[in-house]
Amino acid sequence: MINTVDFITPPVDDPYWFGQISAANSISDVYSMGGTPLTALNVVMFPSKQLDMGLLRDILKGGHDKVVEAGACLVGGHTVDDEEPKYGLCVNGVVHPDRVITNAGSKPGDALILTKAIGSGVLFNAARSGKLPYKDLEQEILPHLAALNGKAMETALQFDLHACTDVTGFGILGHLLEVAHGCRSEVKVYFKTLPLYPFALDMYNKGETTGSNKPNRAMVNRHHLDVKTTLSKAEEEILYDPQTSGGLILSVPDTQSGDLVKALQNAGVTTAVKIGEVVAGNPGITVEE
């Protein structure tokens, strides 16, 4: 049995999108361990005296619809009056004890596959500040963030999957650092292969950022980080951009990586791409071109 609890503050103003993205973000924790979600409980904090209760209804509808899409059942929840709306799920899932996937099982010789683009953190802030029109966020970004990671994990489990993690608030390098330390090996990242959301680099070039970039950078820099390619300021920042409902990093033998990417793309995970590899060496990250 897997039990996870995760909730977020609104990344977008639209309550239905917020509910969907929050639910997908919460359910991802079960998928990333190779599990199947069974039940979910709503976890809600809402300023009922300041905001219309119709907004809460639409948030819960978004969450419910995503839970149903995942094949799970919404069985209740908890609501607290709070100054800021927050929503997420407590998700229960199952996985065979011998088949639990963690972020610590990578091996030298593995390839690392990423299933969603990165850059959502700066885009949310840019939409709030008016630098990015909301219609661009809604059309180009939100459907990817609301997409479940279930199909990606279902496909990956048909291969020799050694490790997995979903990419969330620590940014791509923060989560890869966990992979490196978990297997006590070096992770190489090829920057030019990283899939980026449209407009993300543009927003960093326009001076937008997030509150998590600085601490994420500090966390990674406390450990072994070797950047062997020339990056612009915006390109550096994208490496620390916090994700909401990000994709999975899948670690499989490199000999299987091409077939896995093709299988993922055939399954509808069209952004899946090999972004790096695990090699023998001191735990840490090397960023190359």
Confidence class for position 9, pLDDT limits 50, 70, 90: low
Per residue in 189-247, pLDDT tens?
999 999 999 999 999 999 999 999 999 999 999 888 999 999 999 999 999 999 999 99
For tokens 């690392």, the residue is: 112
Assigned domain for 105 exists = no
Q: What is the DSSP string of 160-178?
A: ---EEEE--TTHHHHHHHH
Phi/psi at 244 (nearest 5 deg)? Answer: -110, 125
Confidence class for position 70, pLDDT limits 50, 70, 90: very high
Together in a domain, 166 and 226: yes
Assigned domain for 104 exists = no
Q: Residue 238 has what pLDDT?
A: 98
Together in a domain, 81 and 168: no
CATH number at residue 39: 3.30.1330.10
Q: Residue 10 has what pLDDT?
A: 62
Angle made by CA atoms 232, 235, 237, in degrees to the nearest 5: 110
The total of structural domains in the chain comes to: 2
Range(s) of the domain holding residue 194:
110-288
Whole-prediction pTM: 0.94
Together in a domain, 235 and 133: yes
| 233 closest CA partner among 210, 211, 206, 212 | 206
Alpha-carbon span 216 to 240, nearest angstrom: 6
Alpha-carbon span 201 to 235, nearest angstrom: 7
Q: Which residues sit opposite 187 in a β-bridge?
A: 278, 285
Together in a domain, 263 and 125: yes
- Last residue in a domain, options 98, 125, 158: 98
Together in a domain, 277 and 143: yes
Q: Residue 194 has what pLDDT?
A: 98
CATH number at residue 121: 3.90.650.10
